[in-house]
A and B are shown apart, each in its own frame.
Chain A
Amino acid sequence: MIAVLALALGVAAGIFFEPTVPLGLLPYLPIAVVAALDAVFGGVRAKLDGIFDDKQFVVSFVSNVLVAALIVYLGDQLGVGSQLSTGVVVVLGVRIFGNVAAIRRHLFRA
């Protein structure tokens, strides 16, 4: 419950302040967001499985974001930034789909 409220609060803050993304963060933000979404869906799935752990969620969230950003940074340095970003998005997308499928099975028994 508190998590949903916090999410709504963040969205509201983003709409209200209308910040512009700093140029240095521009390549990392989308990947970081996708990685964080992956962590969140994983957390929801764990919750429904009854094995949710605070510490694990926090660590996975932060490490997901950092690793995603690191991969993009590395790709930029190697000159394959866009390809590597695509790869990261694909992998995270697959994981999100898997998690969503598990959540769906829990909620709808199907």
Chain B
Amino acid sequence: MKKPANLVIAVLLAVLGFALVVQVRAGKSDAELSAARPEDLVRILSDLDAQQDRLRDEINDLEETRRQLDSGAEGRDAALAEARKRADELGILAGTRPAEGPGLSIDLIAGSETIRPGIILDAVEELRGAGAEAMQINGAGNAAVRIVASTYFIDGTGSQQDRLVVDGLALAAPYTIMVIGGPDTMRTALNIPGGVVDSVRQHGGTVSVHQADTVRVTALHTAGALKYVKPA
């Protein structure tokens, strides 16, 4: 018959024990401070204030540093991307990187006479004048040479009599010039009266010009180390 009352008493005592422990634990951390004199408390408080100020300054400094590092990293990334793009462009100009883009593929088919190096050189110069950005010349059997500023074209000698030597590599007919640039301009430049197409025809050969959206110039030029020149 005393069950409910006992239960209530038990609950109350459990709460008391709980509160007792909580209070003892909460009081323990402050025991040192509550025993301190007011002067000491003031000193501790001002110490803490000073420490807080110092830490806040440190936070500001570190955040400033982080901002600088962040913007530095961004600047470095941008500079790196820019440099990489520039290196790609210069590599294409120097012939050390493969390139692709719209342009022409020009088949030069010899007639009764072989095609002279002079005609190829004329064609290259004409294409350069018309804004060609990357070129290579293919011979028979997948042989290909990238055409760069220093590329030369001469007649073969000895057993390679009827071949075309480009940068030391003897190419056999038929020749194909792959060129990336403005297709219409280059086609017009090739077709001017007295130009490349005309001179090949005069020697009995034929020139066929194909326009393509994607011409791949994949032959690479090996740039030698510079011996004399230095950036000024």
Chain A bound to chain B: yes
**A14-B20, A14-B21, A18-B25 as given contacts; A9 in contact with B5, CB under 8 Å:** no
Chain A residues, CB < 8 A from B19 = 10, 14, 29, 32-33, 36
Instruction: Assess whether B72 is interfacial by the CB under 8 Å rule.
Output: no
Kindly provide the distance from the CB of A56 to the nearest chain B CB, expressed in whole angstroms. Answer: 10
In whole angstroms, what is the CA distance A29 to B26 when docked?
A: 10
In whole angstroms, what is the CA distance A55 to B8 when docked?
A: 10
Residue ranges of A at the interface with B (Cβ–Cβ < 8 Å): 2-3, 5-11, 13-15, 18-21, 26, 29-30, 32-33, 36-37, 40, 43, 54-55, 57-58, 61-62
Interface stretch, picked from B9-17, B35-43, B125-133, B224-232, is B9-17
11 contacts between A and B (CB under 8 A): A2-B9, A11-B18, A14-B20, A18-B25, A21-B22, A21-B26, A29-B22, A43-B9, A54-B6, A55-B5, A58-B9
B27 close to A10 (CB less than 8 A): no
In whole angstroms, what is the CA distance A55 to B1 when docked?
A: 13
Chain A residues, CB < 8 A from B15 = 10, 36
* Most central of B13, B18, B19, B20 by chain A CB within 10 Å: B13
B9 close to A57 (CB less than 8 A): yes
Chain B residues, CB < 8 A from A11 = 17-18, 20-21
Q: Which 7 residue pairs of A and B lie closest in terms of their CB atoms, listed nearest first?
A: A10-B17, A14-B21, A54-B5, A10-B14, A6-B10, A10-B18, A11-B17
Kindly provide the distance from the CB of B132 to the nearest chain A CB, expressed in whole angstroms. Answer: 79
Residue ranges of B at the interface with A (Cβ–Cβ < 8 Å): 2, 5-6, 8-23, 25-27
In whole angstroms, what is the CA distance A96 to B11 when docked?
A: 21
B16 close to A10 (CB less than 8 A): yes
B16 close to A58 (CB less than 8 A): no
In whole angstroms, what is the CA distance A72 to B26 when docked?
A: 18
Chain B residues, CB < 8 A from A3 = 9-10, 13
**A5-B10, A10-B13, A54-B6 as given contacts; A21 in contact with B23, CB under 8 Å:** yes
Kindly provide the distance from the CB of B31 to the nearest chain A CB, expressed in whole angstroms. Answer: 13
Chain A residues, CB < 8 A from B27 = 30
Identity of the chain A residue whose Cβ is nearest the Cβ of B14 in the assembled complex: A10
Partner of A20, one of B5, B16, B26: B26
Chain B residues, CB < 8 A from A8 = 17
Kindly provide the distance from the CB of B55 to the nearest chain A CB, expressed in whole angstroms. Answer: 24
A2 close to B21 (CB less than 8 A): no
Chain B residues, CB < 8 A from A54 = 2, 5-6, 8-9
Chain B residues, CB < 8 A from A7 = 13-14, 16-17
Identity of the chain A residue whose Cβ is nearest the Cβ of B7 in the assembled complex: A2
In whole angstroms, what is the CA distance A32 to B27 when docked?
A: 14
